[in-house]
């Protein structure tokens, strides 16, 4: 019985164009030569028109490289309390590739992906892995393998039918920014002991209890424990077949929600208008969307390949972030407010109040900054569309005000959620330590507690609104 594996990935371009995808194809190490329009029409069973589909580019899977284990014994051997079976010796994942193991502890070797990635082409696009063909939202119309040196990236082009208006709207607005691939693999290998498992009963103790942990090999190298899906020596696809890509509602923490959120209430009304205008649109790195034109050639947007192949055009320099001006004005506004208060206090003869005590001349400025920071957090709580956008906004605001903490700490607070769900503050903090997979420092505890309070207030506000609407 085959394993069914899932892995989530951030969408790179939710609304891509034909010209962009042709550049991806040309940059790929093994790009297909078939005309994409013909390929898409064949998959869809009708003439393909980009106007009818939302085209999305996602880097969906990355590969790892493996090392052969010296002097390893193949066949059956007792390891711990279980008898394992080894068929191949190349099961150690190279230390530099540990970052390419996905969050579920699954991985694919470079050679296996090169043999299997084309099975993405023609697979269905679902919502939340509801794998019922009648509920398909579109198809995967192309896939390419892109060698970046340390890893092999598999990029897919997903065509979502625009008749699913709400789904398309959510994708274009950034409310859905995560794709999750589904694949079957006939067997997996443990990257610590090399055991081959064809179902759950064959799994070794390392995979059952220690996935994503690390160990030191006999040479002293630190390596990750993961499942290697398939093997390059097995069949035409290495024992791996990709069967679908689904839109999933849980947003990725970084990049899947609006970024650079600022507080419209903490600055002037004009800044607030600019902020609201920006908050209503995706960040510029998500692209400008599919452009429509009158002629068929322009509507195809570069999908045809009748023209002679040319060098892929250089990527244009990214436009300046629209938030830069906002941030600069925010800084100037705060600075001017502090200066005005200092000048007022000095002119009234209250120098001590203006400058603070001799041992702390910056107290006045610090208090002013903290007051604006708290006001910004309060306003952010009111405008954030969901918990993820709230936490993302808190992280950005903290950084703007010089309160630096690792993004993992904010992600931990997001995963822990509302502290009111827990029986006590101690239970909430224990959950945070467990989610972070380490003991948080006192400064990090203050961050998760502060974020938790905001999530709790946001939940109370939403519940109050729901009661009023009811």
Chain-centroid distance, C-alpha 242: 20
Tokens of 192: 């610590």
Q: Is 401 helix (H, G, I), strand (E, B) or coil?
A: coil
Residue 318 lies in a domain: no
What was the pLDDT predicted at 320?
A: 45
As averages over each run of 10 residues, the pLDDT of the chain (470 residues) reads 77 79 78 78 89 90 95 90 92 95 92 96 90 90 91 92 92 84 94 95 92 94 96 95 86 30 36 46 41 36 47 46 48 61 61 45 51 71 77 81 80 88 88 88 89 81 40
190 and 334 belong to one structural domain: no
Residue 365 lies in domain: 323-465
Same domain, 20 and 105: yes
Q: Among 368, 369, 325, which Cα is nearest to 345's? A: 368
Tens digits of residue pLDDT in 267-299: 344 444 444 444 444 444 444 333 333 333 334
Same domain? For 75 and 196 the reply is: yes
Q: How many Cα atoms sit within 13 Å of 394 on the Cβ side?
A: 29
DSSP helix/strand/coil, 454: helix
Question: Is residue 422 in some structural domain?
Answer: yes
Write the DSSP symbol of residue 194: -
Do 243 and 327 belong together in one domain?
no
| Rounded Cα gap, residues 265 and 279, in angstroms | 14
Last residue of a domain, one of 212, 247, 282: 247
Do 350 and 219 fall into the same domain? no
Provide the pLDDT for residue 261: 25
Residue 64 shares a structural domain with residue 185: yes
Residue 465: other Cβ atoms inside 10 A: 10
pLDDT at 151: 92
Q: Which residues, other chains included, contact 112 with Cβ-Cβ below 8 Å and sequence gap of 6+?
A: 63, 228, 229, 230, 231, 232, 238, 239, 240
Cα 211 from Cα 256, distance rounded (Å): 26
Rounded distance between C-alpha atoms, residue 266 and residue 225, angstroms:
48
Q: Residue 252 falls within a domain, yes or no?
A: no
Q: Which residues contact 419 (CB under 8 A, 6 or more apart)?
A: 425, 428, 449, 452, 453, 455, 456
Give the span between the Cα atoms of 176 and 186, in whole angstroms. Answer: 31
pTM: 0.56
pLDDT of residue 385: 72
Q: Do strands 106-107 and 227-229 pair parallel, antiparallel, or not at all (unpaired)?
A: parallel
3-state secondary structure labels for all residues of 347-371: HCCCHHHHHCCCCCCCHHHHHHHHH
Q: Note whether 205 and 106 are same-domain residues.
A: yes
* Residue 241 and residue 335 in one domain: no
Closest by CA position to 177, among listed 51, 285, 40, 18: 285
Residue 308 domain-assigned (yes or no):
no
* DSSP 8-state code for residue 204: -
Q: Do the domain assignments include residue 286?
A: no
Do 330 and 208 lie in one domain? The reply is: no
Q: Which of 247, 268, 289 is the last residue of a domain?
A: 247
Whether 285 is in a domain gets the answer: no
SS3 (DSSP) at 202? helix
The Cα 102–Cα 351 span in angstroms is: 59
Q: Say yes or no: 206 and 341 in one domain.
A: no
User: Does 421 reside within a domain?
Assistant: yes
pLDDT for res 295: 36
Instruction: Using DSSP bridges, classify how beta strands 178-185 and 3-13 pair: parallel, antiparallel or unpaired.
Output: antiparallel
**How many domains is the chain partitioned into structurally?**
2
Helix (H, G, I), strand (E, B) or coil at 222: strand
- Cα 421 to Cα 291: distance, rounded to the nearest angstrom: 46
Q: Is residue 287 part of a domain?
A: no
What the block records as the tokens of 249 is: 């509602």
Among 94, 106, 132, CA closest to 184 = 106
419, two tokens:
């502290």
Q: Which of 213, 247, 281 is the last residue of a domain?
A: 247
CA angle, 345 then 351 then 352, to 5°: 115
Distance of CA 407 to the CA centre of its chain: 13
Predicted local confidence at residue 2, as pLDDT: 73
Q: State residue 185's pLDDT score.
A: 94
How much is the pLDDT for 335? 60
Q: Are residues 226 and 332 in the same domain?
A: no
Residues 6+ apart with CB under 8 A from 426: none
Answer yes or no: are the C-beta atoms of 243 and 261 closer than 8 Å: no
The whole-number pLDDT of residue 118 equals 94
Query: What local confidence, expressed as pLDDT, does residue 251 receive?
Result: 38
């Amino acid at each position: 019985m085959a394993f069914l594996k899932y892995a989530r990935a951030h969408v790179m371009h939710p609304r891509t164009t034909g010209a962009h995808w042709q550049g991806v194809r040309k940059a790929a190490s093994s790009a297909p030569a078939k005309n994409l329009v013909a390929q898409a029409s064949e998959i869809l069973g009708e003439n393909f028109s980009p106007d009818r589909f939302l085209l999305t580019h996602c880097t969906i899977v990355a590969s790892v490289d493996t090392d052969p284990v010296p002097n390893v014994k193949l066949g059956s051997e007792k390891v711990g309390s279980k008898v394992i079976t080894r068929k191949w010796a190349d099961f150690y994942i190279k230390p530099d590739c540990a970052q390419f193991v996905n969050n579920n502890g699954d991985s694919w070797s470079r050679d296996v992906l090169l043999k299997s990635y084309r099975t993405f082409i023609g697979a269905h696009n679902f919502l939340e892995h509801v794998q019922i063909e009648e509920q398909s939202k579109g198809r995967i119309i192309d896939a390419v393998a892109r060698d970046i040196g340390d890893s092999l990236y598999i990029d897919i082009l997903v065509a979502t039918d625009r008749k699913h208006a709400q789904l398309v709207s959510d994708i274009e607005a950034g409310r859905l920014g995560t794709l999750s691939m589904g694949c079957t693999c006939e067997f997996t290998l443990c990257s610590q002991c090399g055991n081959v498992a064809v179902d759950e009963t064959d799994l070794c103790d390392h995979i059952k209890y220690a996935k994503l942990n690390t160990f030191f090999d006999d040479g002293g190298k630190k390596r990750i424990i993961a499942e290697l899906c398939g093997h390059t020596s097995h069949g035409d696809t290495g024992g791996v077949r990709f069967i679908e890509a689904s839109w999933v509602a849980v947003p990725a923490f970084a990049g899947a929600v609006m970024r650079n959120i600022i507080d419209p209430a903490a600055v002037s009304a004009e800044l607030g208008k600019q902020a609201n205008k920006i908050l209503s649109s995706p960040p510029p790195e998500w692209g400008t969307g599919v452009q429509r034109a009158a002629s068929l050639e322009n509507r195809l947007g570069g999908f045809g390949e009748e023209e002679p192949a040319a060098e892929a055009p250089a990527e244009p320099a990214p436009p300046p972030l629209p938030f830069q001006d906002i941030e600069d004005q925010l800084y100037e506004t705060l600075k001017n407010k502090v200066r005005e208060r200092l000048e007022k206090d000095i002119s009234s003869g209250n120098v001590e109040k203006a400058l603070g005590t001799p041992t702390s001349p910056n107290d006045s400025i610090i208090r002013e900054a903290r007051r604006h920071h708290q006001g910004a957090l309060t306003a952010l709580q009111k405008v954030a569309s969901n918990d993820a956008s709230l936490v993302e906004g808190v992280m950005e605001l903290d950084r703007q005000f010089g309160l630096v903490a690792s993004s993992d700490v904010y992600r931990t607070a997001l995963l822990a959620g509302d502290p009111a769900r827990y029986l006590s503050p101690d239970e909430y903090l224990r959950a945070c330590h467990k989610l972070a997979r380490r003991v948080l420092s006192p400064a990090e505890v203050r961050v998760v507690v502060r974020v938790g309070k905001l999530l709790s207030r946001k939940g109370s506000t939403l519940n109050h609104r729901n009661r009023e609407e009811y």
